[in-house]
Amino acid sequence: MTMLKASPVISPVQERDQYKICQLARETWHLHYPGIITVKQIDYMLEQRYAPREIKRLIASPNCNWLKVELEHTIRGFGHFDENSAARSIKIDKLYVHPRAQGLGCGAALVRHAETHYGRLGFKKISLQVNKGNLAAIAFYVKAGYQKEQSIIFNIGQGFVMDDFIMSKALY
Ligand SMILES: CC(C)(COP(=O)(O)OP(=O)(O)OC[C@H]1O[C@@H](n2cnc3c(N)ncnc32)[C@H](O)[C@@H]1OP(=O)(O)O)[C@@H](O)C(=O)NCCC(=O)NCCS
């Protein structure tokens, strides 16, 4: 018998999702990033980006482009997108799928959704920052048609840096 694979369902993150998003980010970061950055840096960056008040602030902001992806009515991941209307470009600011749901098409569905949406609105470019040691994510982005554009080291305070590639893709 052939098993039917559930399709990822994408919709905006809502205020009621904030606890789930916070938990998903914490679990994903602590399972994925050790070996790429230190646990101290993981905790520091989670506090900067995923403290409950910060999640609440982002969701409530008028131009929030934060999408969740669900499989079988459960949130499995999310993507947050920053618009730069003047430059006609989009930045993938956050893209996370829980390790238990990786490889099921959720990440690709979020990226495709954003590319289609912003392409239709006339945006010309989509880009992101990825840690140079995050080889799995780099392979995912290459598969999705992104290319390395620049290498940067970014000071984020408390002695921590982000040692990243900027990757990008043209939108048509
Ligand atoms: C990177 C990430 C968002 C990808 O999401 P995902 O749901 O696991 O990926 P998908 O299942 O949609 O995969 C899409 C395609 O990329 C490929 N791919 C995914 N991970 C890959 C890897 N490590 N190596 C090679 N190819 C990979 C898949 O095989 C798939 O190809 P296919 O369409 O031919 O089947 C997710 O794995 C993740 O959250 N990782 C940890 C956090 C992270 O690094 N986020 C990015 C921060 S910049």
Domain holding 88: CATH number?
Answer: 3.40.630.30
Paired tokens of 157: 């305070």
Ligand 1 atom closest to residue 131's alpha carbon, by position in its atom list? 48
Query: Which residue has the least CA distance to atom 16 on ligand 1?
Result: 140
165 occurs within a structural domain? no
| Domain residue limits at 88 | 9-127
Ligand 1 atom closest to residue 128's alpha carbon, by position in its atom list? 48
Burial of 113 (0-12, 13-18, 19+ CB in 10 A): middle
Q: Domain tally for the chain?
A: 1
51-99 tens-digit pLDDT: 999 999 999 888 789 999 999 999 999 999 999 999 999 999 999 999 9
Res. 1: pLDDT tops 80: no
**Best of 140, 142, 164, 169 for a ligand 1 pocket test (most atoms within 8 Å of beta carbon):** 140
120-149 tens-digit pLDDT: 999 999 999 999 999 999 999 999 999 999
Rounded average pLDDT over 7-32: 96
